[in-house]
Each structure stands twice: as structure tokens, then as C-alpha cells.
């Protein structure tokens, strides 16, 4: 029951691929089939295709035309010496040249007068001008575009031999999984949604394969082995998801080893380490990791090139651009790490801001604009030192992106939606690094604007003293977004009866904090100081989250009893809320950004009735100063 396997010998990506691909019997796996040309778009020719007919198949008039004539002005009787004919139509029998109607002074007359010279076969598309019967229309190994389809039909080729799309069976494993078709209601207690198979099926199609998702197999070696045996008999490729890591119930290794051979178990990549590559009855079997980001990245390295090669496609590598990491990214040497980043051009540089690195965070892929690869030979990437990123969005998307870093507020999501609705070329990319983090980002040229709600007790104002301290040299405008309600988020019904900031020091109350530099953290420390309370007395003071919603999620799930945050976040998760103080949330807008047309559009959105209505619906926002320039620094 407890047969555990630490990865036997972890391989590098290239080595793993070589070990795997060099053992495949490519020729027997790749097959071809004859299909109608009408259904061949996107398929790859398996042999050269030769024209059955010439194209055009008959002589055709090549311009809007009207009769034939020698060089000197001459009269031609209509219907006998000259016959009207339209572009693309057949040449009348006996005619061997065409003159354009524009060159006939009066085309309605009879006889017509023609003045332009013409030589034999002028303005005639002769038989075979484009394609001669017996000529090659398409070579072997090319993808059939819509116009290639047209050329094939023009040449009378109605059936074409193409590479077969390999069938790829995907086997989800795990007794706790609820299949995607059954996710419409509530999730049963203790069950998890299965969605990796949907992701993998989409990726299989995009690589050129035909996916077939099988029912979830429970975690036991016998079931998986049996299922794998059947799958291998009916597919060119089998993907088991998951069950390739080192836990006691990871039976992929056992199943593949029992039926065939494990070639690779564990790849030096992150995410994606628990990848297994094997062979069963000559068929490639991939044990794909269970975390969704790992599943995708492992697929891209091993399954995608395999499926593409079998289907005859060549994968187009993603575009790469030079980017500047917004922070140091230490990484374990010996392992290739793929970091998901958001990207935005600020001034001359494209800034790459890392998203959460956890392999379970599927949203880190959804939100990513690019992928940074930290090579196995490296100990990480350095802040601001340029590296190449693979683009997950189009280069145009980057040019339309405004980067806002700093404090998190729920209305930023609203702004992003409304901005895109106003101009689909524009995107608002927000990174949550806390208010002070946002000011630092502006100072270093890593963001277009920053969200900030830094309270200064001495002057009893927001943001301005901090701007004077940290961005003294920068001409900028401070534009209000909203006043919002800060307070304690507690479980519904407030079971621990948390009413004041002092209640946080009670021994049975577990707190969840925001990170250093966050405006909310600064507010908490200020409130504690006013009350004369010691942070060390608060259980959980050292546990940090980066957003209001993450704090709320901790309270919601019971890992904490209280957290400081905004009403909108508490309301979004159905938590109770104990209001403590209103605070001003502003956007810090450097002059360079202020005069940027993209920001001007954003500013219009901020001052629109649509934004006011949507923010009001979130709760806890007072928009009396919304959009106003509250302060300027020249």
C-alpha cells in the first residue's frame, strides 16, 4: 500500500525529450488517409499532389472586354467580327484576343470602333496559365490553407491524401474528482472539480490531435493498469492525468511499468516536475502532472511536439520579446523554471511582473501575458536585467496595456472591464504589490500609474506626504478613485464577537494580516499604536496576504477569524464586516502617463456614470471625489 517512489533519476527537459522521442516508432505511429478536399483545411499533405486538370481549363477572357482589332482604328461588326465577353467568361470559339471595354469609344455602337493595338492571346487567360495538368499543386508535408483547397479544386483534385490526426486518449485519475459535465450544481463535500482533462483536450486539438477524454479512474493500480491497456489499444497517444508524482497513491508509474517501460520519471522543470514518459506496446504514454499549470507546461514540452509531429504539423513557436523583470526572481539551479508574468510597455521597456509561482494557480496562466524561462544553469533572474519572454498575447495587446501597480482595490477589475468595452485595444493590467510597492514601481519606471491609500497620521492626510518623500522629483497628479470603508472582516454572524481592534489580541482570535508596505497594513499598525497594543499579542500578525480578497478567503475558509480590509471584499464572500474608518484611495499619475491617450481614455471611464453605478453596486464606496485631481506636483 505504501510503495513510494521518489523520482528515480530526474532528467533535464531536452534529455527527457530525446530519451522519449528516440524510442518511438514514428513511422508506424504516423499514418495517412485519403479525405475529400472539401474537408482538408488545416490538414497536412502526406504526399505531393499533382494537378488532374489545367487551370484555367479553357481559355478565358481576362478583362472586362469587347472584341478584337488590329493596330490602326478599325470597325468590327458586332456578333461576327467582335463578340461581347465578360471577365472570367469563356472565350467564344474562333476568338483569340480580347480588348478591354474601356478602350472602345462607344461599346453600344455596331459596328464598334477600336483604336488600341492587340496581339494574339492578349487579355486571354490561356489554358494552364496558372497550373498545368500533371504539375505539382502541393508538395508533401504542407498545411492546407483555404487557398490551397481552392487550388486543389481548380486542378480537379477532389480527394487528397493527408496525415491522419493522431487519436489521443486522456485518462483522468482520482476518486475525489467530479467530472466537468457534473459541475453545474454545488460541489459535494470533500470532492474536487476535474477540469485538467478539458484543458488537455483543447491543447490536443490545437496541436493537431483528436482528443478523447475517458471517465475518471479511481486511484488504484489495478483499475489504472486495466484502463491503460485498453487505451493503448485504441489510440496513438495516451495521457494519464495525474498520478506521476511521489505520493503513495500515484499509480501511473506502476501501470506503465507493468505493461511496458518507463523511460523518464521526473523532469527538471518547474512547474511540471512530476512528468512520466513511457512506452506501452510501442505507444507513447505520458503521465501528466496534476497541478493545472504543471499539466499545461509539461504538455507543451512533451505531448505537443509529439502530437504535432504525428499529425504532420509544425508548431509555431511563440513570439519572443525582450523584457525587464520587475523584481529579482531567485530560482533553484538545476531546474528550468517557467514564470508566468504580466507585461506592459512603460517608456522604452517592457516590464515583466511575476504572477504567483504556485503550480496550482491556474489563474496565473489565465492572467499571464508571457512566460519567462529561467534556465537550469541559472540561479534566477535579476530585477531590470533584460531577458526574453515568450508572448501569450499579441504584441498589439502590449502596446494597448496600462500597467497599474500598488494597492489592490476591487474597482480596478471594473475599470479594466469598462476600459476594454470603451476601446477593445486597451487593457488595464493590475499588479498587487501594496501602496508603497506601487510608489517604488513608479520611481523605477515599472508602472504607468499606482493605486495608493497611504495614511499619514501626522498630517492626517493620504498619500501626499509619501509622494513628497518617495517621488519628490517626479511631476505627477494625484487623482481620486474613491473613498472606501476599511474594517474587520469576520465570519458570518461574527461568532467570536470581534468588535474593536483590541479584540484581535484575544488568545482565541486568529488574525490574517496584509504584507508590509500595504496601505491596509500601515493603517492597522497605526490603529494598534493609537490603542497602545503590541502587534506580538496578535496571533497571526506575521501571516501575510497580498490582497483584500485573499484575506477575506482566509476568513471565509476558517484559517483565520478576522482580517482588516474593505467592505467590497467582505461582501463578495458573504462575510460580516465591522467598519472602522473611511479612507481615500487615489491613483498616482505621473505627468508622462497623464498625457498618454490611453490614460485619457481611462480617465474618461473613471468619470463615467457606468463606473459610478458599478462601484456603488460593490458596496462601501463613496464617489464624491471620483476622478478629481486632488493634488499636483510640478
Query: CA-to-CA distance for 386 and 632, rounded, in angstroms?
Result: 33
Rounded to a whole number of angstroms, the minimum distance from the CB of residue 465 to its own copies is 33
- C-alpha cell at position 18: 530525446
| Preceding peptide of 271 cis, ω within 30° | yes
Residues 87-106 that bind its own copies (CB under 8 A): 87-90, 96, 101-102
Tell me the per-residue interface mask from 610 to 629 with its own copies, x by CB under 8 A, - otherwise.
Answer: --------------------
Residues 288-327 that bind its own copies (CB under 8 A): 290-292, 296, 314, 316-317, 319
Which is nearer to its own copies, 232 or 509 (by Cβ)?
Answer: 509
Q: Which positions ≥6 away from 310 have C-beta within 8 Å?
A: 26, 29, 30, 163, 166, 208, 209, 236, 237
Residue whose C-alpha is closest to residue 423's, from 626, 604, 607: 604
Residues 461-520 that bind its own copies (CB under 8 A): none
Rounded to a whole number of angstroms, the minimum distance from the CB of residue 487 to its own copies is 18
Residues 331-390 that bind its own copies (CB under 8 A): 356, 358, 360-366
What are the angstrom distances between the C-alpha of 84 and each of 79, 109, 114?
Answer: 8, 12, 13
Residues 103-132 that bind its own copies (CB under 8 A): 107-108, 120-121, 125-132
Q: Does 154 bind its own copies (CB under 8 A)?
A: yes
Tell me the per-residue interface mask from 542 to 571 with its own copies, x by CB under 8 A, - otherwise.
Answer: -x-----xx-xxx-xx-x------------
Q: Does 27 bind its own copies (CB under 8 A)?
A: no
3-state secondary structure of 252: helix
Give the CA angle between residues 385, 388, 394 to the nearest 5°.
125
Which is nearer to its own copies, 206 or 261 (by Cβ)?
Answer: 206
Query: CA-to-CA distance for 32 and 29, rounded, in angstroms?
Result: 10
- C-alpha cell at position 443: 520611481
Q: Which stretch binds its own copies (CB under 8 A): 186-194, 373-381, 442-450, 519-527?
A: 186-194
Query: CA-to-CA distance for 435 and 257, rounded, in angstroms?
Result: 53
Q: Which stretch binds its own copies (CB under 8 A): 142-150, 229-237, 460-468, 492-500?
A: 142-150
Rounded to a whole number of angstroms, the minimum distance from the CB of residue 382 to its own copies is 28
Rounded to a whole number of angstroms, the minimum distance from the CB of residue 64 to its own copies is 5
Residue among 13, 160, 170, 201 that touches its own copies (CB under 8 A): 201
Residues 425-464 that bind its own copies (CB under 8 A): none
Residue among 9, 22, 106, 181 that touches its own copies (CB under 8 A): 181
Size of the site for its own copies (CB under 8 A): 122
Residue among 70, 79, 117, 202 that touches its own copies (CB under 8 A): 202
Residue whose C-alpha is closest to residue 499's, from 401, 400, 577: 577
Q: Which stretch binds its own copies (CB under 8 A): 48-56, 329-337, 344-352, 475-483?
A: 48-56
Helix (H) or strand (E) segment spanning residue 286: strand 283-288
Q: Which stretch binds its own copies (CB under 8 A): 46-54, 459-467, 493-501, 622-630?
A: 46-54
577 within 8 A of 570, measured Cβ to Cβ: yes
What are the angstrom distances between the C-alpha of 448 and each of 420, 456, 585, 594?
Answer: 17, 24, 17, 9
- C-alpha cell at position 55: 487551370
Give the CA angle between residues 361, 364, 366 to the nearest 5°.
115
Cα 49 to chain centroid distance, Å, stands at: 37
Which is nearer to its own copies, 94 or 609 (by Cβ)?
Answer: 94
Q: Does 192 bind its own copies (CB under 8 A)?
A: yes
Amino acid at each position: 500500500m505504501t510503495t513510494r517512489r521518489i523520482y528515480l533519476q530526474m532528467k533535464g527537459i531536452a534529455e527527457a525529450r530525446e530519451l522519449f522521442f528516440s524510442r518511438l516508432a514514428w513511422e508506424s505511429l504516423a499514418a495517412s488517409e485519403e479525405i475529400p478536399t472539401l474537408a482538408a483545411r488545416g490538414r497536412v499533405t502526406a504526399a505531393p499532389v499533382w494537378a488532374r486538370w489545367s487551370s484555367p481549363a479553357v481559355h478565358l477572357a481576362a478583362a472586362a472586354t469587347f472584341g478584337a482589332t488590329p493596330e490602326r482604328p478599325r470597325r468590327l461588326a458586332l456578333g461576327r467580327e467582335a463578340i461581347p465577353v465578360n471577365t472570367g467568361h469563356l472565350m467564344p470559339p474562333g476568338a483569340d484576343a480580347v480588348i478591354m471595354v474601356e478602350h472602345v469609344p462607344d461599346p453600344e455602337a455596331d459596328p464598334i470602333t477600336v483604336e488600341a493595338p492587340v496581339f494574339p492571346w492578349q487579355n486571354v487567360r490561356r489554358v494552364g496559365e496558372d497550373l498545368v495538368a500533371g504539375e505539382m499543386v502541393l508538395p508533401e508535408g504542407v498545411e492546407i490553407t483555404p487557398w490551397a483547397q481552392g487550388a486543389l479544386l481548380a486542378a480537379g483534385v477532389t480527394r487528397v491524401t493527408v496525415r491522419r490526426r493522431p487519436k489521443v486518449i486522456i485518462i483522468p485519475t482520482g476518486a475525489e474528482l467530479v467530472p466537468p459535465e457534473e459541475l453545474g450544481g454545488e460541489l459535494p463535500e470533500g470532492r474536487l472539480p476535474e477540469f485538467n482533462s478539458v484543458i488537455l483536450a483543447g491543447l490536443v486539438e490545437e496541436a493537431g490531435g483528436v482528443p478523447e477524454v475517458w471517465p475518471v479512474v479511481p486511484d488504484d493500480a489495478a483499475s489504472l493498469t486495466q484502463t491503460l491497456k485498453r487505451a493503448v489499444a485504441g489510440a496513438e497517444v495516451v495521457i494519464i492525468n495525474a498520478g506521476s508524482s511521489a505520493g503513495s497513491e500515484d499509480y501511473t508509474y506502476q501501470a506503465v511499468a507493468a505493461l511496458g517501460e518507463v523511460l523518464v520519471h521526473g523532469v527538471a522543470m518547474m512547474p511540471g516536475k512530476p512528468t512520466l514518459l513511457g512506452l506501452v506496446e510501442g505507444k507513447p504514454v505520458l503521465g501528466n502532472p496534476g497541478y493545472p499549470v504543471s499539466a499545461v507546461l509539461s504538455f507543451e514540452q512533451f505531448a505537443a511536439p509529439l502530437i504535432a509531429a504525428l499529425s504532420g504539423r509544425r508548431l509555431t513557436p511563440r513570439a519572443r520579446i525582450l523584457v525587464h523583470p520587475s523584481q529579482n526572481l531567485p530560482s533553484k539551479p538545476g531546474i528550468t523554471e517557467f514564470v508566468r508574468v504580466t507585461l506592459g510597455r512603460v517608456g522604452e521597456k517592457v516590464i515583466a511582473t511575476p504572477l504567483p509561482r504556485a503550480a496550482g494557480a491556474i489563474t496565473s496562466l489565465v492572467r499571464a501575458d508571457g512566460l519567462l524561462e529561467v534556465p537550469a544553469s541559472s540561479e534566477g533572474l535579476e530585477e531590470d536585467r533584460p531577458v526574453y519572454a515568450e508572448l501569450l498575447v499579441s504584441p498589439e495587446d502590449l502596446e494597448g496595456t496600462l500597467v497599474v501597480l500598488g494597492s489592490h482595490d476591487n474597482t480596478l477589475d471594473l475599470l479594466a472591464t469598462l476600459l476594454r468595452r470603451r476601446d477593445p485595444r486597451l487593457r488595464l493590467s493590475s499588479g498587487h504589490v501594496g501602496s508603497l510597492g506601487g510608489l517604488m514601481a513608479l520611481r523605477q519606471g515599472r508602472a504607468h500609474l499606482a493605486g495608493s491609500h497611504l495614511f499619514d497620521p501626522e498630517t492626517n492626510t493620504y498619500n501626499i506626504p509619501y509622494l513628497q518623500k518617495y517621488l519628490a522629483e517626479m511631476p505627477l497628479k494625484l487623482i481620486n478613485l474613491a473613498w472606501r470603508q476599511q474594517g474587520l472582516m469576520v465570519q458570518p454572524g461574527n461568532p467570536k464577537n470581534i468588535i474593536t481592534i483590541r479584540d484581535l489580541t484575544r488568545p482565541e482570535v486568529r488574525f490574517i494580516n496584509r504584507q508590509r508596505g500595504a496601505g491596509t497594513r500601515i493603517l492597522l499598525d497605526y490603529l494598534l499604536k493609537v490603542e497602545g497594543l503590541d502587534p506580538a499579542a496578535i496571533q497571526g500578525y506575521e501571516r501575510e496576504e497580498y490582497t483584500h480578497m485573499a484575506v477575506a478567503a482566509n476568513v471565509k475558509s476558517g484559517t483565520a477569524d478576522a482580517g482588516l480590509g474593505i467592505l467590497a471584499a467582505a461582501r463578495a464572500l458573504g462575510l460580516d464586516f465591522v467598519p472602522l474608518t473611511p479612507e481615500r484611495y487615489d491613483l498616482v499619475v505621473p505627468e508622462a502617463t497623464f498625457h498618454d491617450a490611453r490614460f485619457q481614455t481611462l480617465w474618461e471611464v473613471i468619470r463615467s456614470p457606468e463606473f459610478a453605478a458599478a462601484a456603488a453596486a460593490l458596496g462601501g464606496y463613496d464617489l464624491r471625489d471620483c476622478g478629481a485631481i486632488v493634488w499636483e506636483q510640478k
